Amino acid sequence: MGRLSPITAITISSLILLSLFFSNPVLAQQVCNFPYCQGDPYGYQNKGFVLKNNPFFCIDIPPVNSHYILSNVLFSLGVWQHFLPKLKMHYLIGQRSVSCNVFIHFVTQQSIQANGLTIPNFPFSGAATIKIPYDDTAGCGKGSVFSLTKAVEHETGHALGLGHFVLHSLNEANLVISGKESSPSIMVSSQCGALSHASVTALDGMQVMKIRS
């Protein structure tokens, strides 16, 4: 049997790597650079955004399963309030107020292709808009986990000014994604079910207060 030419060998290796990438969500997660980014320091990335005033949430009424979804949203906000005892949080459901600086809208997962999305400085400076899917598809492939509460907690962290939390290494990232190691922050990447094993922590609360000081 003849030896493979260098070009043929490289082509075969490339095809193997591509097949592994598209069949393995964890490998895809690594290439996305979250929750580990090579070269980035451990800890929170700089979001460059801070709410002007105390958080005041205006929450839309979801088009379906409104009681269930709103219960999860309020639970998530309550978790944040627990870790932010000095920061009074208010909310309105199905209403608008000039005091509102965080708007929560419910959309289809397909429309944003994510577990959640936070847009800072909209509709006016010092405010943020959160978009949360009201359907239960995470869009990350077979076996992925979508948690409404975790998505709201994560996006609320962004609205409060937190960037993503970068872990020490790919190995640590895989341990967090698999649930074998606790996440230090809710702000690890929300892609492909990583948030299913993360929670708001005291570290998150301290970081929010730090950037607001």
DSSP 126-169: T-EEEEEESSS--SS-TT----HHHHHHHHHHHHTTEEEEEPS-
Q: What is the spatial distance between Cα 47 and Cα 138, in angstroms, rounded to a whole number?
A: 24
Report whether 211 contacts 90 (CB < 8 A): no
pLDDT of residue 114: 79
Which of the four pLDDT bands, split at 50, 70 and 90, describes residue 122?
Answer: low
Distance of CA 165 to the CA centre of its chain: 10
% of the chain beyond a pLDDT of 90: 37
Per residue in 149-188, pLDDT (tens digit) is 888 999 999 999 998 888 877 787 778 877 788 889 999 8
Strand 128-133 to 102-107 pairing: parallel
pLDDT of residue 180: 84
The domains of the chain, with CATH numbers, are 43-212 (3.40.390.10)
179-208 average pLDDT score: 83
- What pTM value is reported for the model? 0.77
Secondary structure (3-state) at 179: coil
Report whether 38 contacts 166 (CB < 8 A): no
| Radius of gyration from C-alpha coordinates of the chain | 20
